C-alpha cells in the first residue's frame, strides 16, 4: 500500500513549537521549510491530523489549519481515500533543470542548500553582484542628500513658517471630509486631479498672480518635485540638452539627469539667467528657471531677460520650466507676475507648490501647462501614480474656497517679513571674509557671498558648532562648473523656519562664534 512508497518516515521530533504564539502557523512554517529544503521528500506520507496532534500535544484543529494552508499553497496533496502526501515538487524542478541554460553552481558557504539534490542551486544574491543598469548608475551620480531631519531650526532652507499653519482649521476640514466622504471620490479619480481644486487654483493664479489660465490647464502633482520630474520624463529624449541655472536647484537638475538628459549649467547674474550663454548652447531642448526669486542667489529675473528667454524658446522650439516655488513671498507690493504670464507661444510650463505656504510634507503642487501638453501629462501621471491622494486635494479645495488660503498667505508673508527683519537686525557686522547682506525683497532665504571655499567651510562649521544650520553656496553648483573657485562660495540662509526670538538668539551665537 501507500506506506511502502514513503521514502522517509515522517519524524516530527525536530518540530519545536512555541506555545505562546499561533501553533498552526508555526506548524505550517515548519512543514513548509522541510518540504522546500528536501527534508520531507515528494511523496512522503504525512501522519493523519489526529496522530500528529497527539505527537505534538496540540489541538487537532491546529494541525487541520496547517494542513489546509499547505494544501492551498500546493505543498501537500490529498489522495482520495488515502491520506495526505508531500507534493512531487522535485519532478517539476528537475524537469526545469533540462531547460536551464545557465545554472549557477557556486553556493555561498553557510547558506542552506535548498533543493540542491535535483541540480538547481538557489543562491542568495550577494552584494558583490553589482546591478548593471544605466538607470541605477545615473542614480548613483545624481542622488539627493538625505533631508535635514529634526525639528526646524535657524536657518534651515526651503522651509516656511509652518508653525503658523492653522492646524485647527485643517484638522476640522479633514475630519469633516472623512466623517461623511462622497463615496464617488474614493475610487479611481481623475489623473489631472480633483476638478474643484483645479478650478480654485486657476482662479487664484488669475486673481492674485496675474496668470491667465483655466482649470483644464492645471495638473495636480505630488509637490513641485513631481511636476519637474514629469517635465523631465515627457519633454525630453535621452541625450537631449537641458540647461539649469548655475548655481541652482540640484534636485531639479538631477531629475533631468536621471531622465537621461545632458544637464548644462548657465550662469546667473544680477538680472537672472544669462540668456546669451543659453543662446549659444546647441540643441538645448529645455531651460529650467526660477525667475521670481532665483534659487539660491535670490536674484529676480529682469523683464528684458524674460523676453529674451521667451524669444529663445520660440526660436528653438524649446521648453521653459518656470519653478515659482516661493513667488507668493514679496515684501513690497504684490507678487510679481510669473514668466508664464508673458508666454504667448505655449512654451512655458509653470510649476507651483503649496509646500512653501502650507508645509513641504503636504506634497501638493501643480503644473500650469500649455493646452497642447495637458493630455500627455495627464496620461503619464495616470501610469505613474493614477492620481494624488484624495483627502489632501479635497481639503485644500475647501481651505481655499472658505478663504483660509488667502488669509494664510497674508499671515505667512507678514511672518516671513518679520523673521527676515529679525535676521537682518541681528546679523553680525564685519564678519571677516564675508560680504554684505543682500537686499531681500522676496522669498524665504538669502545668500551672503564669502571670499573663499575655505572660509565658507569654516563659517558653516563654526555655525554648526553653536547649533545654527547654514547651507554652503558651493553645494548648489554643478560639479563641472567653470567659475573661478572663490567666486562660488557663500552662505545660504533660510529665515522663515523659526520664530523671531530663536533667530535673534541664533544670530547672537553666530556673532560670538564668528566675530568676537
Which residues in the 372-391 window bind its own copies by CB under 8 A?
372-373, 376, 379-380, 382-391
Residue 400 interacting with its own copies (CB under 8 A): no
Cα distance between residue 22 and residue 17, in whole Å? 9
> Is the link from the previous residue into 300 a cis peptide, with omega within 30 of 0?
no
**Which of residues 44, 217, 226, 246 is near its own copies by CB under 8 A?**
226
Q: Please tell me whether residue 101 binds its own copies under the rule CB under 8 A.
A: yes
Chosen residue from 266, 289, 290, 308 binding its own copies by CB under 8 A? 308
Instruction: Output 240 or 245, the one with its CB closest to its own copies.
Output: 240
Does residue 334 bind its own copies (CB under 8 A)? yes
User: How many residues make contact with its own copies (CB under 8 A)?
Assistant: 137
Q: CB-wise, 226 or 297, nearer to its own copies?
A: 226
Q: How far apart are CA 356 and CA 360, in angstroms?
A: 7
Minimum distance of its own copies from residue 299's CB (angstroms): 13
Does position 402 interact with its own copies (CB under 8 A)? The reply is no
DSSP per residue over 57-110, as a string?
TS-HHHHHHHHHHHHHTTSEEE-TTS-EEE--HHHHHHHHHHH-S-------TT
Q: Out of 14, 151, 479, 484, point to the residue binding its own copies (CB under 8 A).
A: 151
Among 1, 13, 106, 125, binds its own copies (CB under 8 A): 125
SS3 323: strand
Find out whether the peptide bond into 296 is cis, omega within 30 degrees of 0.
yes
Subset of residues 41 to 70 that bind its own copies, contact rule: CB under 8 A: 65, 68-69
* Distinct helix (H) and strand (E) counts, the chain: 16, 14
| Interface residue with its own copies, options 10, 48, 55, 122 (CB under 8 A) | 122
Under the binding rule (CB under 8 A), the answer on residue 184 touching its own copies is yes
Q: Does 13 bind its own copies (CB under 8 A)?
A: no
Q: Is there a contact between 387 and 241 (Cβ–Cβ < 8 Å)?
A: no
Q: Which of 370, 428, 433, 435 binds its own copies (CB under 8 A)?
A: 370
Q: Which three cell numbers stand for residue 418?
A: 518679520
| Residues 6+ away with beta carbon under 8 Å from 430 | 515
Beta carbon nearer to its own copies, 350 or 427: 350
> CB of 510: closest distance to its own copies in angstroms?
22
Cell of 452: 573663499
Nearer of residues 4 and 21 to its own copies, judged by Cβ: 21
- Residue 139 as a binder of its own copies (CB under 8 A): the answer is yes
CB of 21 to its own copies, least distance (A): 9
d(CA 208, CA 200): 12
> Which residues does 152 contact at the CB level (< 8 Å), separation at least 6?
159, 162, 163, 497, 498
**Residue 170 near its own copies by CB under 8 A:** yes
For the bound state, the minimum distance from the C-beta of residue 163 to its own copies, rounded and expressed in Å, comes to 6
User: Does residue 293 bind its own copies (CB under 8 A)?
Assistant: no
* Residue of 23, 52, 58, 159 that binds its own copies (CB under 8 A): 159
If the CB atoms of residues 223 and 449 are measured against its own copies, the closer one turns out to be 223
Residue 144: Cβ within 10 Å count: 10
Report if residue 134 touches its own copies, rule: CB under 8 A. Answer: yes
Tell me: does residue 283 bind its own copies (CB under 8 A).
no
Which residue lies nearer to its own copies by CB, 4 or 101? 101
Site for its own copies in 342-361 (CB under 8 A): 342, 344-347, 359-361
Give whole-number Cα distances, 287 to 163, 265, 412, 464, in Å.
34, 10, 30, 35
Decide whether 158 or 265 has the Cβ nearer to its own copies. 158
Cell 520531507 locates to: 40
- Site for its own copies, residues 446 to 485, rule: CB under 8 A: none
Cβ closer to its own copies: 44 or 392? 392
In the region spanning residues 194 to 223, those forming contacts with its own copies, defined by CB under 8 A, are: 210, 222-223
- Report which secondary-structure segment, H or E, holds 508: helix 500-514
Tell which one of 5, 136, 425, 485 touches its own copies (CB under 8 A). 136
DSSP assignment of 194-248: -HHHHHHHHHHHHHHH-----GGGEEEESHHHHHHHHHHHHH--TT-EEEEEES-
> DSSP label at 302?
P
Amino acid at each position: 500500500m501507500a506506506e511502502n512508497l514513503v521514502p522517509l518516515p515522517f519524524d516530527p521530533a525536530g518540530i519545536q513549537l512555541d506555545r505562546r504564539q499561533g501553533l498552526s502557523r508555526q506548524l505550517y512554517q515548519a512543514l513548509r521549510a522541510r518540504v522546500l529544503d528536501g527534508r520531507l521528500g515528494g511523496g512522503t506520507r504525512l501522519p493523519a491530523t489526529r496522530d500528529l496532534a497527539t505527537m505534538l500535544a496540540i489541538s487537532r484543529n491546529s494541525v487541520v489549519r496547517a494542513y489546509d494552508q499547505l494544501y492551498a499553497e500546493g505543498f501537500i496533496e490529498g489522495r482520495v481515500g488515502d491520506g495526505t502526501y508531500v507534493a512531487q515538487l522535485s519532478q517539476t524542478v528537475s524537469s526545469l533543470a533540462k531547460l536551464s541554460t545557465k545554472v549557477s553552481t557556486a553556493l555561498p558557504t553557510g547558506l542552506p542548500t535548498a533543493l540542491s539534490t535535483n541540480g538547481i542551486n538557489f543562491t542568495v544574491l550577494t552584494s558583490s553582484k553589482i546591478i548593471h543598469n544605466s538607470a541605477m548608475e545615473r542614480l548613483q551620480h545624481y542622488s539627493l542628500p538625505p533631508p535635514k531631519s529634526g525639528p526646524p531650526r535657524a536657518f534651515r532652507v526651503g522651509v516656511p513658517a509652518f508653525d503658523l499653519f492653522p492646524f485647527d482649521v485643517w484638522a476640522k476640514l479633514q475630519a469633516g471630509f472623512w466623517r461623511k466622504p462622497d463615496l464617488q471620490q474614493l475610487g479611481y479619480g481623475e489623473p489631472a486631479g480633483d476638478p474643484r481644486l483645479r478650478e480654485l487654483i486657476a482662479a487664484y493664479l488669475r486673481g492674485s498672480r496675474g496668470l491667465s489660465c483655466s482649470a483644464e490647464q492645471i495638473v495636480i502633482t505630488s509637490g513641485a518635485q513631481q511636476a519637474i520630474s514629469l517635465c523631465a520624463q515627457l519633454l525630453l529624449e535621452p541625450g537631449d540638452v537641458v540647461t539649469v541655472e548655475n548655481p541652482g536647484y540640484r534636485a531639479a537638475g538631477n531629475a533631468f539627469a536621471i531622465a537621461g538628459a545632458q544637464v548644462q549649467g548657465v550662469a546667473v547674474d544680477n538680472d537672472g539667467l544669462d540668456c546669451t550663454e543659453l543662446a549659444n548652447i546647441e540643441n538645448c531642448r529645455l531651460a529650467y528657471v526660477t525667475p521670481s526669486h532665483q534659487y539660491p542667489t535670490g536674484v529676480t529675473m529682469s523683464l528684458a531677460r524674460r523676453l529674451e528667454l521667451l524669444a529663445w524658446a520660440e526660436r528653438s522650439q524649446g521648453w521653459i520650466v518656470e519653478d515659482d516655488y516661493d513667488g507668493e513671498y514679496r515684501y513690497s507690493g504684490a507678487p510679481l507676475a510669473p514668466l508664464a504670464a508673458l508666454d504667448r507661444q505655449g512654451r512655458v510650463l509653470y510649476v507651483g507648490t503649496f509646500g512653501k505656504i502650507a508645509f513641504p510634507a503636504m506634497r501638493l503642487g501643480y503644473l500650469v501647462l500649455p493646452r497642447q501638453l495637458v493630455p500627455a501629462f495627464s496620461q503619464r501621471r495616470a501610469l505613474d501614480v493614477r492620481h494624488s491622494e484624495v483627502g489632501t486635494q479635497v481639503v485644500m479645495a475647501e481651505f481655499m474656497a472658505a478663504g483660509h488660503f488667502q488669509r494664510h498667505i497674508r499671515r505667512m508673508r507678514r511672518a516671513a517679513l518679520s523673521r527676515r527683519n529679525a535676521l537682518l537686525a541681528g546679523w553680525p557686522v564685519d564678519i571677516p571674509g564675508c560680504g554684505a547682506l543682500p537686499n531681500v525683497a522676496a522669498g524665504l532665504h538669502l545668500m551672503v557671498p564669502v571670499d573663499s571655499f575655505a572660509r565658507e567651510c569654516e563659517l558653516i562649521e563654526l555655525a554648526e558648532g553653536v547649533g545654527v544650520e547654514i547651507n554652503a553656496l558651493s553645494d548648489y553648483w554643478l560639479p563641472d562648473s567653470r567659475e573661478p573657485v572663490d567666486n562660488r562660495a557663500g552662505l545660504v540662509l533660510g529665515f522663515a523656519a523659526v520664530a523671531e526670538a530663536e533667530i535673534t538668539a541664533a544670530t547672537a551665537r553666530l556673532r560670538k562664534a564668528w566675530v568676537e
